[in-house]
Structure 1
Amino acid sequence: MTTNQHWMQRDLDSLWHPCTQMKDHEWLPVIPIRHGKGLWLEDFEGQRYLDAVSSWWVNIFGHANETINARLKAQLDSLEHVILSGFTHAPVIELSERLGRIAPAGLGHCFYADNGSSATEVAMKMSFHYWQNKGQPDKQTFVSLQNGYHGETLGALSVSHVGLYRDTYKPLLLEVEAIPSPDCYGLPEDQWEAHSRAMFEHMEAKLARNHDNIAAVIIEPLVQCAGGMRMYHPIYLRLLREACDRYNVHVIFDEIAVGFGRTGTLFACEQADVSPDYLCLSKALTGGYLPLSVVMTTDDIYKAFYDDYATMKAFLHSHSYTGNPLACAAALATLDIFERDDVIERNKALSAHMRLRSRELLDHPHVGDVRQHGMIVAIEMVRDKETLEPFPFEERRGLKVYQHALSRGALLRPLGNVIYWMPPYIIEKHDIDFLAEVTREGLEIATA
């Protein structure tokens, strides 16, 4: 059997990894994975790792899932890809129909792209273009939240406000105002609603002042994932929907990371009983198998582009692999599993156990906050528990937890000083117990 070292060296000679300072790999080994099954990833020397972050939040039903595998194999024998301009195929039609049935009310049309950033770009361009088509050309700007994140392409990065990803590229970006976030960090849960209501006053003031020039507001419902898994109350979504209706501004919900059951409901915005004008979905859409994203939108928006060709109102955005049949087949199999296994109901018991075990970590002298929405738990390390003073980022405390977890057979990839659990939905209670044990050990090592 070829060794890990063999593949590590070949990797370092030829690859440039995402979200990585490559010099780190002079001392931090890259882990070559040979095989995946269920919760577990296995390297070339037989070491296994529990995938506690769903391979970057995408793999919700485990690696090598038999249902998704079978659907993909069948699709591969009939059609691997076809242009979606002027042509169509059964998987993309069936997927669009099914998404329309399960999505929040009013989202009747699907526009496909390849990944989450691309979905953000589609929604932004579509909103801007809509207002042009409707004779309101001044509505050109976008509003988003501080600490929000919507992707790495330039439009998506413009509406993102996590400095780590954004600051270097600021001269290239659109001017977008960042409204203070409703982030409830450090607050007991019984204060989340009042805080989220109070923080909405900043958004209300912005909309009242500038709505004639605003095309859309874009936010991540309930959880700002890349911003450190910061969370807030669903009331903010309801207040935003009501205000945008009053001021004639579009709402874009970026559920790329939080959709498909991650926050406890199939879509996070269900918890506020509201629908957006644009719903961006990706990641778990294909069960973690293939790149695919979709922007769902309303009949009203669709009709604003529906006209004779000579009017030049058509939305001429495209990607080569738009609506790829293999990716659509994986998505259909993923929806089959949701229906067959009553996943949302099962997740309630799992999230309750995640809550039980994670709350135990609050007694640690360097844990400032433990927060949760559904199948997302975040544990934030701090230097001072009383003031919530953070550890300096240069100390890379989270990386020490990551290294310890690898030595114990778990993949816990931190966000700075935030350790989080975002596991596949096939996890069992004893696996959660294992993650809690490994996390506590890692905390001791990282804060010693």
Structure 2
Amino acid sequence: MNERPAVTPGTTPQLSNSLRELDNAHVWHPFTAMSAYRREQAPIIVDAEGFHLVDEERIRYLDGHSSLWCNIHGHRVPAIDAAITNQLQRVAHTTLLGLSNAPSIELAAELVRRAPSRLNKVFYADCGAAGVEVALKIAYQYYRQRATPEDSRDKFIYFDGAYHGDTIGTMSIGSISRFKNLYSPLLFPAVWAKVPAASPDHPLRESEQLEFCTHELERLLIEHQGRIAGVVIEPLVQAAAGINVQATGFLERVRQLTRRFDTLMIADEIAVGFGRTGTLFACEQENVSPDILILSKGLTGGYLPLAATMITDEIDTAFLGEPWEGRTFFHGHTYTGNPLACAAALASIRLIDDNAVLENVQRVTAVLKQELAPLKQHPQVKEVRQQGAMVGIELHNAGTPFPPERRVGHEVTLACRRRGVILRNIADVIVLMPAPAMPEQLVLELCQVVRDSIQDGLN
């Protein structure tokens, strides 16, 4: 164990020049088992080029998880660098509370132009979880301020496997136990829509999954009729659950049921937006237009923190009135609509068109499917799940989970690291998330390393 040196009150401690020592002494990493982290000496990234990261020892690593699912075009992209530099020469930050700035206005217009229909208003936050919190508060307040205020809805439906962030509100609508159980006394009650349990003897057909999930959601909407403010869903695929792919048609069913029960549909596209599933927004694939859409991660191309919660004019109308009427949405962040982040986002979105990134995603999707297909026959691979350029490879031990103390998924990512690829596992699911603009040759390299590393990690 590293012990901090004794410091005389009123003096400044003398710190080592080693980044490793400073990291171990002072930095607490998110979602990271710190004791193991300090032993394993993870790369300390000091540079990047294209789709590679470079550590302090000048070792290059292929960024196989898009720097936690947010990078779109690679690193040090000239157009995005220039957009930030140009904005920096004007103003780095000014509040959006009662003022505005040019990049935030231009970005809002660009998002409205591209998003599913009816989503005409944009509220900015500074991370995905904050964007979901915004959506929850808007939905709750909306039902208290629309034409029938007696319809005061106060519950939200979330799905098995859901993860929408790690703040108090977002944990309340998440179902992954290791992320929320400890904090359960702090959370508000929400309605959990369960999904059918499959078994090795009875794998579920997609049609069975579709019908079960549809009937479960309908049952809950009937049971809690008049109380549900919103149904929160990650369209097409649940990312943090290990790339759980939904049955085709389920998203459309959710839209139909929320309309039927006069309930808001809240689409969390934080992880799946900006080309990851093959279309700019995942909702497009089933022609669904939600009432609220949340964007983050890839919004700025992986450069700066920013989130956008988009709503319809109908919702916006419920918040209009004279200041003294108390209909204002009293929510905001210091860096809401930060000009640098908005400038980066504008440049990134335009590059998606200029560089035909969505067409590249189709090629990346095909390469991933072909190159990872042999793993489906691997005796210790339970399932290979894929939606567009998002892949989850679930490992198992003769049909049962590996003991958690083996950390098999983590061992595979360490084996990838030794081969020059950075990935991150979710328990024993290896997640591949190449940047949508990654060239095919690098995707081939990524797949080869993963196949080899799975064999290493299981030995």
Is TM (by shorter chain) over 0.5? yes
Indicate which of 412, 418, 428 corresponds to 1:407. 418
Q: How is 1:375-386 mapped onto 2 (pairs within 5 angstroms)?
A: 375-384=389-398
Structure 1 equivalent of residue 402 of structure 2 = 391
Structure 1 equivalent of residue 12 of structure 2 = none
Code of the aligned partner of 1:105 = S
Q: TM-score, with normalisation over the residues of structure 1?
A: 0.95
Q: 1:409 to 1:211 in 2, by over 3 A?
A: same
Structure 2 equivalent of residue 296 of structure 1 = 310
- 1:195, CA displacement in angstroms? 1.9
Contact 2:206 2:248 in 1 (8 A): no
- 1:183, CA displacement in angstroms? 8.9
**Deviation string for 1:320-367 (max 9, x for gaps)?**
000000000000001110121121122111111111001121121111
Structure 2 equivalent of residue 425 of structure 1 = 436
Q: How is 1:291-370 mapped onto 2 (pairs within 5 angstroms)?
A: 291-370=305-384
**Deviation string for 1:77-99 (max 9, x for gaps)?**
01111111221111111100010
Indicate which of 420, 434, 438 corresponds to 2:449. 438
**Deviation string for 1:172-200 (max 9, x for gaps)?**
00111211137989899994244223322
CA distance in structure 2 between the aligned counterparts of 1:199 and 1:320, rounded to whole angstroms:
40
Q: Does 1:280 align with 2:291?
A: no
- 1:392, CA displacement in angstroms? 2.5
Contact 2:195 2:209 in 1 (8 A): no
- 1:391, CA displacement in angstroms? 1.6
Structure 1 equivalent of residue 94 of structure 2 = 82
Q: Does 1:93 align with 2:93?
A: no
Structure 1 equivalent of residue 53 of structure 2 = 41
Q: Secondary structure at the match of 2:138?
A: helix
Structure 1 equivalent of residue 244 of structure 2 = 230
Structure 1: runs of 5 or more not aligned? none
Contact 1:184 1:230 in 2 (8 A): no
Q: Does 1:65 align with 2:77?
A: yes
Structure 1 equivalent of residue 186 of structure 2 = 172
Contact 1:54 1:422 in 2 (8 A): yes
- 1:393, CA displacement in angstroms? 2.4
Q: Which moved more, 1:138-147 or 1:23-32?
A: 23-32
- 1:281, CA displacement in angstroms? 0.3
Contact 1:357 1:432 in 2 (8 A): no
CA distance in structure 2 between the aligned counterparts of 1:342 and 1:298, rounded to whole angstroms:
29
Equivalent pairs counted in the alignment come to 442
CA distance in structure 2 between the aligned counterparts of 1:191 and 1:270, rounded to whole angstroms:
24
Equivalent pairs: percent with the same residue?
Answer: 38
Q: Which moved more, 1:223-232 or 1:48-57?
A: 223-232
- 1:136, CA displacement in angstroms? 3.4
Structure 2 equivalent of residue 118 of structure 1 = 130
Q: Secondary structure at the match of 1:285?
A: helix
Q: Secondary structure at the match of 1:296?
A: strand
Code of the aligned partner of 1:434 = E
Q: TM-score, with normalisation over the residues of structure 2?
A: 0.93
Indicate which of 24, 41, 44 corresponds to 1:12. 24
Contact 1:186 1:368 in 2 (8 A): no
Q: Does 1:27 align with 2:39?
A: yes
- 1:207, CA displacement in angstroms? 0.4
- 1:8, CA displacement in angstroms? 1.2
Q: Which moved more, 1:423-432 or 1:89-98?
A: 423-432
Code of the aligned partner of 2:372 = S
**Deviation string for 1:211-256 (max 9, x for gaps)?**
2111111011111111111111241111111111111111100000
Q: Does 1:256 align with 2:270?
A: yes
Code of the aligned partner of 1:299 = D
Contact 1:183 1:196 in 2 (8 A): no
CA distance in structure 2 between the aligned counterparts of 1:211 and 1:243, rounded to whole angstroms:
12
- 1:25, CA displacement in angstroms? 2.5
Code of the aligned partner of 2:401 = P
CA distance in structure 2 between the aligned counterparts of 1:266 and 1:124, rounded to whole angstroms:
24
Contact 1:96 1:109 in 2 (8 A): yes
Contact 1:251 1:278 in 2 (8 A): yes
CA distance in structure 1 between the aligned counterparts of 2:184 and 2:415, rounded to whole angstroms:
36
Question: Hey, which bits of structure 1, 4+ residues long, moved more than 3 A?
Answer: 181-191
- 1:68, CA displacement in angstroms? 0.4
Over the aligned positions, Cα root-mean-square deviation in angstroms equals 1.9
- 1:371, CA displacement in angstroms? 1.4
Q: Which moved more, 1:87-96 or 1:425-434?
A: 425-434
Code of the aligned partner of 1:305 = F
Contact 1:50 1:409 in 2 (8 A): yes
CA distance in structure 2 between the aligned counterparts of 1:316 and 1:26, rounded to whole angstroms:
42
- 1:66, CA displacement in angstroms? 0.8
Structure 1 equivalent of residue 11 of structure 2 = none
Code of the aligned partner of 2:407 = R
**Deviation string for 1:253-304 (max 9, x for gaps)?**
0000100111111111111111111000000000011000010000000001
Q: Does 1:141 align with 2:141?
A: no
Code of the aligned partner of 1:110 = V
